[in-house]
Amino acid sequence: MNCGPGRTSELLQGIKERSPEIPEAVDVLVCPPEISLTTASEVLNEYNAYLGAQNVYYEDDGAFTGEVSTGMLKEVGCEFVIIGHSERREYFGETDKTVNAKVIKALSDDINPVICVGESLDQRKKEVHKKMVKKQVQAALNSVNEKNITGVVIAYEPIWAIGTGETATPEQAQEMHEMIRTVISELYDEDAANAVRILYGGSMKPHNAEELLSQPDVDGGLIGGASLKAESFTDIINIADKLS
């Protein structure tokens, strides 16, 4: 919940100034709050970045005050949507069931879901983190067919590393990303698993991005605080380009 229309315009203009052309080997996605999507769409016109939303509902329309549909998102140019972010799960009652319903709806309307999965510090300490994340991945992909799986992005969020200044070590990140890819391979096949991009979403910043992005199964980052400053966000883009 950062950046209204004015701040969104200012931030995106700053990103465009620092990175007039996005490197060919890097995909950049920005996901502002719903109130800023139209502004973002206008500012990103003819700029090679994708637009996404932070949430979506699984019905087309109706008496669902405060929700937004896939059709509304497509109307402002969204090609992606974040689903099941840890904060949505913790504060707003998102469940594996609602996450799956949103994933199915997004895919059916040609919007790529960025599905967030991750464990709490308590779950990691109890050594059930792999079991929990595997369950989340399996539930989110329930009834997603092989044809649509390549449109899915998974974002691994070690919840204990979000906004705390803590970061999973590159080895911890790789271990979990590799496990997630194995789960996808078991559900579909190896080609599908390799096609799905798995992002790291736990306090990636310019100072740790290279180590994290160098891991074989870390395909990118779901950037939080570092995305709120044009300098740090474009620094991460440049690091990703260097490693490509």
- Using DSSP's 3-state secondary structure scheme, residue 39 falls into helix
The two structure tokens encoding residue 97: 């069931």
CATH match for 5-243 among 3.20.20.70, 3.30.70.520, 3.90.1150.10, 3.40.50.410: 3.20.20.70
pLDDT digits (tens, 9 = 90+) for 166-177: 778 999 999 999
Pick the catalytic residue: 34, 94, 119, 157? 157
Q: Is 17 considered catalytic here? A: no
Pick the catalytic residue: 34, 85, 94, 177? 85
DSSP string, 9-59: HHHHHHHHHH-SS--TT---EE---GGGHHHHHHHTTTSS-EEEES---SS
Task: Please tell me the distance from the alpha carbon of residue 217 to that of residue 208, in angstroms, as a whole number.
Answer: 16
At 121 the pLDDT is 85
pLDDT digits (tens, 9 = 90+) for 23-72: 999 999 999 999 999 999 999 999 999 999 999 999 999 999 999 999 99
Report how far Cα 137 is from the mean position of its chain's Cα atoms: 14
Q: 79 burial class (0-12, 13-18, 19+ CB within 10 angstroms)?
A: middle
Mean confidence (pLDDT) of the chain:
96
Q: Say what the pTM is.
A: 0.96
Cβ proximity of 37 and 76 under 8 Å:
yes
At 160 the pLDDT is 85
pLDDT digits (tens, 9 = 90+) for 90-146: 999 999 999 999 999 999 999 999 999 999 888 988 999 999 999 999 999 999 999
Q: Is 207 considered catalytic here? A: no
At 105 the pLDDT is 98
